[in-house]
Amino acid sequence: MRMRTASTLAVLLALGCLRVAAAQPVMARIDQISPQTAQALRTAPGVAWWAEFGDELLLVGDTPRLLSQRALAPMRVLDGVDPARLYLHADGCAHGASTVHRAIGVTLARAGHWELRALRDGETIAADDPGHWQPLPRNQVVIGRYRPDGAAAPADPLVAPLVARIDAGRWYGDVETLAGWDRNSFGSGILAARDWLGERFSSLGLQVGQPSFTLQGRTLYNVTATWTGSAEPDDWIVVGGHYDAIGSGFAPGADDNASGCAGVLELARAVTAFRPRRTIVFVCYSGEEQGLHGSAAHVAALRAGGDLDKVSAMINMDMIGYSRDGQLDVLLETNTQNRAYIERFAAVAATYAPELGTLLSTNPYGSDHIPYLQAGVRALLTIQGDDTNYPHYHASTDTPSNMDAGGWSRPIGGAILRMNAAMLAELSGASDRIFADGAGDGG
Ligand SMILES: [Zn+2]
């Protein structure tokens, strides 16, 4: 009886293997098809399960029947790929202090900082590296491209003047300034960068702080800059981005993350000209690259001060200055509870930064929005779509000129900042104040 069970099992396993080998996944290109056609593909005969990944839709099932839908979208067969060995691999910014990160498998698709990878025979995910990997969820939009139902809403005349204050050239100049310092969390230039940021915020009339926290026995500093709301001071919006960088030797960190930190400064310049109704707390974090320590410290301080419940929204910028090929994509990332929040950003982008493509993800990973999400705050990350393609990532060559090698830094940085400025106007009530003043510049 035991023998017979074992041999039956062996036959079943063999059949299973044969069946898997026959069921090779198919990747359909969906960037040029309608949402209705994409839905028809997901529910087509022969589809066992699917996963959407930016501009591509993975279909698993009866391969010949899947391919019979070729008229609807271009398709390619993923030869030799076992659907049971598909994983999401994340290249987030913060890798943690000690993890030696090994990328295994074959990359089948990329979107935002997620890669779809198939593990080869014999490859296993290292026990010390689980954070970068997730089994591929089935029948889910892992990363979706935002496709509005109709035309974009017209620009709001109360928001447009604020968005028009975004100056991509000025922002790029600040990236160059920040990249002139070695901003390793324990580097030689991090305190100079801290003080320069404080001076810049102070010159805008913001109340500046340098709250400290301890990491590996050393003292690190966030920079906070607060605009107290004119009408609803106990309703807070947090706008953040880390100013530390990482790399062996000098760490200029232009894209990662002088771009986002300078973005925090540029948003402060744009919005504080309009006397927002609600309080805005601008934060530049340190210790991000060692594991989100600055943002975690800020959340802890909010909680300790009894202020956490006042925070109604958070915007994080991490790597907003690079495009590989001039396609201007931003990835908007939050958790599943905040889907409406990121869809609002996408809708606003369609109005105020129509050149920007928007990718949406509800798999948050690896940057300073995470501690806020964990604390129940409505938070999101805005990050360039070509995150995983940046060749100078976490290297001493992450300089402004390398970030801008294709000449795309100002176009993509400016577009992401205009989207964020419009959202910040909406969230902070800056537009309400313009209306109340009846004037555009607020003095
Ligand atoms: Zn970063």
Ligand 1 centroid–CA 260 distance in Å is 8
> Phi and psi of 423, rounded to 5°?
-65, -40
What is the pTM assigned to this prediction? 0.87
| Dihedral in degrees, nearest 10, Cα atoms 428, 384, 179, 260 | 10
Q: Does residue 366 sit in the same domain as residue 400?
A: yes
Ligand 1 centroid–CA 328 distance in Å is 19
Ligand 1 centroid–CA 367 distance in Å is 7
- 236 lies in which domain range? 160-437
Ligand 1 centroid–CA 253 distance in Å is 8
Distance of alpha carbon 274 from alpha carbon 428, whole angstroms: 10
DSSP three-state, residue 250: coil
Distance of alpha carbon 246 from alpha carbon 148, whole angstroms: 38
Last residue of a domain, one of 138, 168, 192: 138
Contacting residues for 115 by C-beta, under 8 A, at least 6 apart = 88, 89, 90, 91, 107, 108, 109, 388
Ligand 1 centroid–CA 278 distance in Å is 28
Look over the chain and give the mean of its residue pLDDT values, rounded to a whole number. Answer: 89
Distance of alpha carbon 57 from alpha carbon 74, whole angstroms: 11
- The one-letter amino acid at 386: D
Ligand 1 centroid–CA 289 distance in Å is 7
Q: Work out how many domains the chain is built from and give that number.
A: 2
pLDDT at 3: 39
Ligand 1 centroid–CA 380 distance in Å is 14
Q: Does residue 334 sit in the same domain as residue 427?
A: yes
Q: Does residue 185 sit in the same domain as residue 86?
A: no
Ligand 1 centroid–CA 97 distance in Å is 14
Contacting residues for 385 by C-beta, under 8 A, at least 6 apart = 111, 112, 323, 327, 328, 329, 330, 331, 357, 359
Q: Does residue 92 sit in the same domain as residue 222?
A: no
Q: What are the tens digits of pLDDT across the range 329-338?
A: 999 999 999 9
In a domain, 415, yes or no: yes
Residue 348 belongs to domain with CATH number = 3.40.630.10
Ligand 1 centroid–CA 257 distance in Å is 5
Ligand 1 centroid–CA 364 distance in Å is 14
Distance of alpha carbon 38 from alpha carbon 50, whole angstroms: 11
Q: What band does 18 get if pLDDT is binned at 50, 70 and 90?
A: very low
Q: What band does 95 get if pLDDT is binned at 50, 70 and 90?
A: low
Q: Does residue 267 sit in the same domain as residue 347?
A: yes
Q: Which residue has the tokens 């109005």?
A: 351
